[in-house]
Chains A and B, each alone.
Chain A
């Protein structure tokens, strides 16, 4: 079967993608608390959170970050990614139980590296909810294979 992954050479600055939506459920938050061990009351105590500015439990910020990473794989054909290098990320608003989020992504930069077989790619990402409000945004840097 042909390699369906896209190489650094083929990806262009300015490409934009939008993912399908994903509804964040109570189950997602409970599972993520169990997996990460982060039981902060923000995510786990419904009664306490009734009195907070949010009025209810909210998703872990890092759950939203991780879900958008999953949504990216459903937004576009896979890159020939060698490594995830880093990210700069801002949490702008809460993700509440029942909210549906989607990812908008745009390739903003391509850079050579010291090795001829790989290049650096910067992708700007925005996570929006069902009302079009930006709940998270940032940039990720990826090392992607070049055609030999």
Chain B
């Protein structure tokens, strides 16, 4: 038996209004220090997590779900709102919902609404991600079983 190619999620596979909830990650001082070192961006208050760090962590959380990764051709834009501060030691996860699925000539546009939620269930950040996603080639493997 041969091993199948890694499953990938194409434009056709995306379910409009589908919701994906990720596992959590505890935001540590190590995350804050690494983030500050790489980007030069930090929080004004030492015990707080930089706001954009959480936005960045949600992209990794999106890889820790059973759904195969979306075949993104281009990340087109993001609209983002910070609702509440987050402290080092807090645990976040994210919830995403496909709000728009629009067919284009060379693929399709997906707009995803995303929330960052803390350990008390409070939304600390939310916004929209816009992606250009590939169509399934005639020979491609993967997608939902």
Q: Which of B75-83, B97-105, B107-115, B135-143 contacts A (4 or more CB under 8 A)?
A: B75-83
Are B34 and A39 interface neighbours, CB within 8 A? no
B40 close to A67 (CB less than 8 A): yes
| Residue of A34, A37, A84, A86 touching B61 (CB-CB under 8 A) | A37
Using CB atoms, name the residue of chain A closest to B44.
A81
- B39 interface hit (Cβ, 8 Å): yes
Residue A63 interfacial (CB < 8 Å): yes
CB distance from A11 to the nearest CB of B (A): 16
Interface status of A16 (Cβ within 8 A of chain B): no
Q: Decide if A62 touches B59 in the complex (CB within 8 Å).
A: yes
Residues of chain A touching chain B, judged by Cβ–Cβ distance below 8 Å, are 22, 28, 31-32, 34-40, 42, 60-63, 65-67, 69-71, 73-74, 81, 83-91, 138
Interface size on B, residues (CB 8 A): 36
- The chain A residue sitting closest to B74, CB to CB, is A91
A40 to B25, CA, bound (A): 19
Question: Which of B37, B56, B61, B82 makes the CB contact (< 8 A) with A83?
Answer: B82
Please tell me if B52 contacts chain A, counting CB pairs below 8 Å. Answer: yes
A37-B61, A38-B63 known; A65+B52 contact, CB < 8 A:
yes
Residues of B within 8 A of A86 (CB): 79-82, 127
* B52 in complex: contacting residue of A28, A66, A91, CB < 8 Å: A66
Interface string of B35-72 (1 = CB under 8 A from A): 10111110010000011110111011111100001001
Please determine whether B56 and A89 come into contact, CB atoms closer than 8 angstroms.
Answer: no
